[in-house]
Amino acid sequence: MSSYAAPVQDLIDELGRMPGVGPKSAQRIAFHLLKIPTEDALRLATAITEARQRVAFCTRCFNVTEGELCGVCRDERRDTTVLCVVEEARDIVAVEKTGQFRGRYHVLQGAISPIEGIGPEQLRVAELLTRLEPEAVTEVILCTNPNIEGEATAMYLGRLLQPLGIRVTRIASGLPVGGDLEYADELTLGRALQGRRDLETG
């Protein structure tokens, strides 16, 4: 099948290893990179090199950072007693966008999934436990994905943390804001019904 020049095929293969990029997309991106002005392509290469060289993981919460601690951990106005546990650093960005959370984060760097060879020991669980006392954490919000692996991880952490006398909460699943009820799938709607709350009329 492969009839491209070796460097082109190498590029396609490397791109194809990216998450969410199939062989077709890899091919398209590769030829796009070959077609655009050289300096544009090299800018991407530099961005990758720079990011890899300068960005590391926060020693406290494992968010991505340029220094030793990430922006959130450096921010002294943040509430240290509430900790939001997420699977990936990108989830922090999502939660930050809500503007609803003023505590700190902890990135697990994955979710429990034996199929992928990920058990609790491969995640930043031990590091989470060592943070609780020094930072006087009183509540841990489990913000893992609402899928099988995310739920398993939340359940695992819940069982670990609850005996320590810490308030453990799980983010609610429910309906997207601005959507129509009729377009919601039954599972989401069912969860939303289960998690209903009293109407605040004040």
Partner 1 sequence: MHLQHIWLQDFRCYQEAELTLADDLTAIVGDNGQGKSSLLEAVSYLATLRSFRGVPTEALVRQGATASIVRAEGERDHRTLLIEAEISSNGRNRVQVNRQRLQRTRDLLGFLRVSVFAPDDLELVKAGPGIRRTYLDDTLVALNPSMHQSLSDLERVLRQRNTLLRQARGRLTTEIETTLDVWDTQLAQLGDTIATERVGLVDQLAPLLNSAYASVAGKPVQIGVIYEPTWLVEGLAEALARVRVEDLRRQVTTMGPHRDDVWFTVAGLPARTHASQGEQRSLALALRLAAHDLVSTVTGSSPVLLLDDVFSELDPQRSDALVASLPPGQTLLTTAGALPSGVTPDQTLRVVNGELFAV
Which residues form the interface with partner 1 (CB under 8 A)? Answer: 22-23, 112-115, 117, 119-121, 148-149, 151-152, 155-156, 159-160, 185-187, 190
**Residue 112 Cβ, how far from partner 1 at the closest point, in Å?**
6
DSSP 8-state symbol, 120: G
Rounded Cα distance between 17 and 166, Å, is 41
**Residue 187 Cβ, how far from partner 1 at the closest point, in Å?**
5
**Residue 86 Cβ, how far from partner 1 at the closest point, in Å?**
18
Cβ distance to partner 1 smaller for residue 67 or 190: 190
- 71 exposure class (CB count in 10 Å sphere: 0-12, 13-18, 19+): middle
Cβ distance to partner 1 smaller for residue 49 or 147: 147
What is the distance between the terminal CA atoms of the chain, rounded to a whole angstrom? 68
What lies within 8 Å, CB to CB, of 119 at 6+ separation is 112
Total count of residues recorded for the chain: 202
**Residue 105 Cβ, how far from partner 1 at the closest point, in Å?**
22
Token pair for 200 = 């605040």
**Residue 155 Cβ, how far from partner 1 at the closest point, in Å?**
5
- Pairing state between β 139-142 and 103-107: unpaired
Cβ distance to partner 1 smaller for residue 19 or 99: 19
Cβ distance to partner 1 smaller for residue 24 or 52: 24
Token pair for 170 = 């799980």
Cβ distance to partner 1 smaller for residue 99 or 117: 117
What lies within 8 Å, CB to CB, of 167 at 6+ separation is 138, 139, 140
**Residue 85 Cβ, how far from partner 1 at the closest point, in Å?**
15
Cβ distance to partner 1 smaller for residue 58 or 87: 87
